Structure 1
Amino acid sequence: MLVIRRTKPGIPTYWVLPGGGVEPSDESREAALHREIHEEIAGKADIVRLLHTMESEGERQLFYLARIATWSFEDRSGPEFSAEGRGEYLLEEVPLTVEGLDGIDLKPEEIAHVLRGAIGAGAVGAEAAK
């Protein structure tokens, strides 16, 4: 599983999944995902399926299960990487296992919980490995 380790001054280290918001120029949510993957990790994604929808405080987040065949973190181009005070973004590979998830503080906590359940049910490991 590809995750981004976030380090910010004064905040404990945490990890997030690559992705982001839908821009007005995006033709669809899937197009936004492809754009974000390109910006954040200079990668190409094959979307497997929608994994989870999370709604909180008037915001909706969609989490997709996708295979990333290629990436080049050094070639990322997202605007967040040059913003002052945003801290570090480091790409890491973490095993898509409960033990792998237990070794990081993945945010938001709800998606970490969903992934643990999906791993336990065998709903993500086989699809992600194809």
Structure 2
Amino acid sequence: MSKKHRARAVLLTPGDTLLLIGRVRPGLDPYSVVVGGGVEEGDADPEAAAVREVYEEIHGRAKIVRHLYALEDEKERQDFYLATVAEWSFDDKSGPEFTQEGRGEYTLLELPLTVAAIDAANLMPPEFAAVLRGLVERDELVPVAQGAE
């Protein structure tokens, strides 16, 4: 059995905020996740998968800035990318997870780029929450080529 491969986009907005997906599931404390999902056969690479997932989940057009982090265990690999997004519409989301029975509630969270906001969002997985917290503390989450084309 091959490992699942997921691609996720840490989305920065023009207002220097962070977009996350809020999750409420029965029996669990509310938590949040970085936008993204599984790399599919038709995706050219994990970056392309992250861009596709952003479109499906928030109807936004992401621009990948750089790879941030890889989290891997025996079951899956998750690649996290820093990306920018200028426009989005959560009302126009189209990912298959939104229509599956028993998946709980999904909301779009727009948070300030602060450690306190990340901690309050209960970001999962905790290993990546710690990485993101460190990037924010060191002010390393700003896109290198912000505004450059």
Does the TM-score normalized on the shorter chain lie above 0.5?
Answer: yes
Q: Is 1:108 the counterpart of 2:125 in the alignment?
A: yes
The amino acid of 1:127's aligned partner reads P
Q: Which runs of 5+ in 2 are unaligned?
A: 1-17
* 1:68 and 2:96 are equivalent in the alignment: no
Instruction: State the TM-score, normalized to the length of structure 1.
Output: 0.94
1:129 to partner: Cα distance: 9.8
Give me the whole-angstrom Cα distance separating, in 2, the residues matched to 1:21 and 1:117: 25
Q: RMSD across aligned C-alpha pairs, in angstroms?
A: 1.5
What is aligned with 1:91? 108
CA distance in 2 between partners of 1:6 and 1:84 (Å): 14
Q: What's the CA shift for 1:36?
A: 0.5
Residue of structure 2 in register with 1:3 after alignment: 20
CA offset digits 1:81-104 (Å, max 9, x no partner): 000000111001011111111211
Distance 2:75 2:103 in 1: 24
Aligned to 1:121: 138
Alpha-carbon deviation of 1:128?
8.1
Q: Is the 8 A contact 1:43 1:71 kept in 2?
A: yes
Stretches of structure 1 lacking an aligned partner (at least 5 in a row) = none
What is the match of residue 6 of structure 2?
none
Partner residue in 2 for 1:17: 34
Contact kept? 1:66, 1:128, Cα under 8 Å: no
Go from structure 1 to structure 2 and tell me whether the alpha carbon gap of 1:128 and 1:6 turns closer, same or farther (over 3 Å shift).
Answer: farther
For residues 115 and 42 of structure 2, the distance between their equivalents in structure 1, rounded to whole angstroms, comes to 37
How far residue 58 of structure 1 moved from its aligned partner, in angstroms, is: 3.4
1:42 aligns to what?
59
- Find the counterpart in structure 2 of residue 82 from structure 1: 99
Q: Contact 1:67/1:128 (CA < 8 Å) preserved in 2?
A: no
Moved over 6 A (4+): none
Q: Among the aligned pairs, what percent are the same residue? A: 53
Paired residues in the alignment total: 129
- The TM-score, its normalising length taken from structure 2, stands at 0.82
